[in-house]
Structure 1
Amino acid sequence: MTETDSERAGSGRQPVHHSPDSGLSPGSGLLDLRRVGAHPDFWYPVALSRKVRTGRAVATAFAGERIALYRTESGTVHALEDRCAHRQVPLSMGVVEGETLRCCYHAWAYRGDGRISQIPYLSKGDGRPPRGVRGYPVREAYGLVFVFPGDPEKAALTALPELPAFGSPAYKTMSFSRTVHCHYSFMHENLLDMNHQFLHRGVVGKLHPQLLDSRTQARSVEASYLFKHVGGKRNRGAELLATEGTGRRGSADVLTIRTDYPYQTLDLVPQNAERPAFRLWAAYVPEDAEQRTCHAYGLLMIAKPRVPGALHLAWPLIRRFTERVFAEDRMAVEAEQRAWEEQGEDRNHEVFPLILDVRKVLRANGVPLVPSGGTARCGSAPGA
Structure 2
Amino acid sequence: MLVEASRSETAQQAEAPEYDLRQIDSNPNFWYPVAWAHKVRPGKAFPTRYAGHPIALIRPEKGPVYALEDRCAHRQVPLSKGLVEGDCIKCCYHGWAFDRAGKCVTVPYLNRSDVGRPVRAYPCREKAGLIFIFPGDPALAETVQVPDIAQVGNPEYKTRQFGPRLKCHYTFMHENLMDMNHQFLHRRQMGSITARFLGQDKGDNFLEARYSFARKGGNQPLAEALIFGKHHDLEGREQPVEEVVSIRTTYPYQTLKIHDKDGDLIMDLWACYVPLGSDQQGTQAFGLLSVKKPKWGFLLDLAWPALGLFTHRIFEEDREIVELEQKAWRELGGDHNVEVFPIVKALRALLARGGVPNKAARPLKKG
TM-score by length of 1: 0.85
Contact 2:168-2:322 within 8 A present in 1 as well: yes
Matches within 5 A, 1:213-362: 213-240=199-226, 242-244=227-229, 248-249=232-233, 250=239, 252=241, 253-270=243-260, 272-362=261-351
Deviation at 1:195, TM superposition (A): 0.3
**2:116 aligned residue:** 130
Query: 1:54, 1:75 within 8 Å by CA — same for their partners in 2?
Result: no
Q: Is the 2:106–2:112 Cα contact (8 Å) retained in structure 1?
A: no
> 1: distance between equivalents of 2:207 and 2:112?
58
- 2:84 maps to what in 1? 96
Aligned-partner residue type, residue 98 of structure 1: G
**Structure 1: stretches of 5+ with no match in the other structure:** 1-27, 373-384
Can you give the 5+ residue segments of structure 2 that lack an aligned partner in the other structure? 1-15, 234-238, 362-367
Residue equivalent to 1:182: 168
How far 1:228 sits from its partner (Å)? 2.0
Q: Percent identity?
A: 46
Residues 154 and 199 from structure 1, CA distance in 2 versus in 1: closer, same or farther, beyond 3 angstroms?
same
Q: CA RMSD in A?
A: 1.9
Q: How far did 1:294 drift? A: 0.7
Confirm whether residue 201 of structure 1 aligns to residue 190 of structure 2. Answer: no
Whole-Å separation in 2 of the counterparts to 1:135 and 1:280 = 31
Q: Which residue of structure 2 aligns with residue 82 of structure 1?
A: 70
Q: What's 1:6 paired with? A: none
On the 8 A contact 1:203/1:233 being kept in 2, the answer is no
Q: In the alignment, is the contact (CA less than 8 A) between 2:31 and 2:133 conserved in 1?
A: yes
Q: Which residue of 2 aligns with 1:380?
A: none
Q: 1:269 to 1:230 in 2, by over 3 A?
A: farther
Alignment of 1:107-146 (within 5 A): 107-124=95-112, 128-146=114-132
Q: SS state of the match for residue 309, structure 1? A: helix
Would the alpha carbon gap of residues 124 and 194 (structure 1) be closer, same or farther in structure 2, given more than 3 Å must change? closer
**1:297 Cα deviation from its structure 2 partner:** 0.6
Counterpart-to-counterpart distance in 1, 2:103 and 2:124:
16
What displacement does 1:233 show?
3.5
In 1, Cα distance between equivalents of 2:225 and 2:90: 51
Whether contact under 8 Å (1:229, 1:251) holds in the other structure is no
Aligned residue type for 2:281: R
Name the CA distance, whole Å, in 2 between partners of 1:331 and 1:124: 54
Deviations 1:78-118 (CA, angstroms, capped at 9, x unpaired): 10001000000011111111211111111111111111112
Cα separation, 2, equivalents of 1:172 and 1:314: 11
**Secondary structure of the equivalent of 1:340?**
helix
> In the alignment, what sits opposite 1:22?
none
Report the more deviating stretch, 227-236 or 301-310. Answer: 227-236
Task: Compute the TM-score of the two structures, normalised by the length of structure 2.
Answer: 0.89
Q: 2:51 aligns with which of 40, 46, 63?
A: 63
2:150–2:268 CA contact under 8 A, matched in 1: no
Give the count of matched residue pairs. Answer: 341
2: CA distance between counterparts of 1:306 and 1:265?
25
**2:94 is matched with which residue?**
106
Where does residue 377 of structure 1 map in the other structure? none
* Cα deviation, residue 160, structure 1: 1.2
Given that 1:57 and 1:70 are in contact with CA atoms closer than 8 Å, whether structure 2 keeps it comes out as: yes
Is 1:157 equivalent to 2:143 in the alignment? yes
Question: Is the 8 Å Cα contact of residues 106 and 116 (structure 2) preserved in structure 1?
Answer: no
Which amino acid is 1:70 matched to? I
Give the letter aligned to residue 351 of structure 2.
Answer: L
CA distance in 1, matches of 2:330, 2:72: 34
**Counterpart-to-counterpart distance in 2, 1:49 and 1:248:** 42
Question: Within 2, Cα distance between the matches of 1:239 and 1:301?
Answer: 16
Asked whether the equivalents of residues 203 and 234 of structure 1 are also in contact (C-alpha less than 8 Å), the reply is no
Q: Mean alpha-carbon deviation: is it higher for 362-371 or for 281-290?
A: 362-371
